[in-house]
């Protein structure tokens, strides 16, 4: 599995980073993990053919993780002339929430006849998502978003990626990271308490329990961005837009 960081910013554009969007390549498959409002910009910047992405996985329905689906579908329809199916997998209510934001931003866009099939699949802890190459499990975390918010555990191509989504510390993250090749975790701040988010001190305290081969910090505020180089190591990776590596 190969990971490309398309965007690893917080919701506010800190450090000039694009919002949460990660490209996972499993063999010939291209899967998007998160789709922040800036996803289409980031994919274009990275030279990724968005039509080759067949599945988009969403941890929770906040704009900086999900709103990019609107522009993905808009560009698929009008610019990229997509014809192949697109599947969006996320928390319960994702189809209705998409309809609300799409119609608010581009009235009428959900009524236009598309040249490609668009499917929204709901994932829950009781109902994981799986297809031929990919298994995705959801674990509920603590981050109000108008729908359940999840950490995700993604297996494909013999590798496993755990992803915290956005959340304050919950012990379930230990299972999400357990034995993973890579655990991607939000790290909003250094030590300031940010409600419903994680800071570095909390992650650091729990490092012995986070048994992933490598841990990548993302979703950083300006203080954390300035501090991050001091903790970077072979095991602790600091996400940066454009970063690309084998998981
Ligand atoms: Zn959020
Ligand atoms: Zn966020």
User: Which structural domain range is residue 72 located in?
Assistant: 2-238
Q: What is the pLDDT of residues 181-223, one digit of tens each?
A: 999 999 999 999 989 999 999 999 999 999 999 999 999 999 9
What is this structure's pTM?
Answer: 0.98
Residue 84 lies in a domain: yes
Residue 246 lies in a domain: no
Collapse the DSSP code of 229 into the 3-class scheme (helix H, G, I; strand E, B; otherwise coil) and give the result. helix
Share of the chain above pLDDT 90, in %: 99
pLDDT interval class at 167 (50, 70, 90):
very high
Of all ligands present, the nearest one to the C-alpha of 64 is: 2
Q: What is the pLDDT of residue 169?
A: 98
Dist CA 78 CA 129 (whole Å): 29
Residue 115 Cα to ligand 2 middle (Å):
31
Dist CA 117 CA 115 (whole Å): 7
Residue 184 lies in a domain: yes
Residue 81 Cα to ligand 1 middle (Å):
31
| CATH number where 42 lies | 3.60.15.10
Q: What is the pLDDT of residue 231?
A: 98
Residue 182 lies in a domain: yes
| Residue whose C-alpha is closest to residue 141's, from 133, 150, 132 | 150
Residue 40 Cα to ligand 2 middle (Å):
17
Half-sphere exposure of 94 (CA within 13 A, CB side): 29
Dist CA 232 CA 135 (whole Å): 30
Residue 188 lies in a domain: yes
Q: Which residues surround ligand 2, an ion (CB under 5 A)?
A: 11, 64, 166
Pairing between strand 129-130 and 182-186?
unpaired
Residue 164 lies in a domain: yes
Residue 229 Cα to ligand 1 middle (Å):
24
Residue 163 Cα to ligand 2 middle (Å):
13
| Residue whose C-alpha is closest to residue 152's, from 195, 88, 80, 91 | 91
Residue 168 Cα to ligand 1 middle (Å):
10
Residue 247 lies in a domain: no
Q: What is the pLDDT of residues 23-73, one digit of tens each?
A: 999 999 999 999 999 999 999 999 999 999 999 999 999 999 999 999 999
Q: What is the pLDDT of residues 90-104, one digit of tens each?
A: 999 999 999 999 999
Q: What is the pLDDT of residues 100-130, one digit of tens each?
A: 999 999 999 999 999 999 999 999 999 999 9
């Amino acid at each position: 599995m190969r990971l490309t960081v398309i965007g690893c910013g917080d919701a506010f554009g800190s450090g000039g980073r694009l919002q949460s969007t990660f490209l996972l390549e499993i063999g010939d498959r291209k899967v998007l993990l998160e789709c922040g409002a800036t996803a289409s910009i980031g994919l274009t910047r990275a030279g990724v053919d968005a039509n080759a992405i067949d599945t988009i996985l969403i941890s929770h329905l906040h704009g900086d993780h999900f709103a990019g689906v609107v522009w993905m579908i808009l560009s698929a329809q009008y610019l990229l002339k997509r014809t192949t199916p697109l599947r969006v997998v996320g928390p319960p209510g994702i189809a209705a929430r998409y309809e609300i934001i799409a119609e608010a931003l581009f009235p009428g866009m959900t009524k236009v006849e598309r040249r490609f099939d668009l499917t929204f699949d709901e994932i829950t802890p009781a109902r994981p998502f799986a297809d031929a190459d990919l298994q995705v499990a959801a674990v509920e975390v603590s981050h109000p978003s108008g729908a359940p918010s999840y950490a995700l555990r993604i297996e494909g191509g013999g590798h496993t990626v755990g992803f915290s989504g956005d959340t304050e510390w919950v012990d379930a993250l230990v299972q999400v990271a357990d034995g993973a090749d890579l655990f991607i975790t939000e790290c909003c701040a250094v030590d300031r308490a940010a409600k419903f988010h994680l800071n570095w001190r909390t992650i650091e305290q729990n490092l012995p329990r986070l048994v992933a081969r490598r841990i990548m910090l993302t979703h950083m505020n300006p203080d954390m961005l300035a501090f991050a180089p001091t903790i970077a190591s072979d095991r602790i990776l600091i996400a940066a837009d454009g970063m690309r590596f084998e998981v």
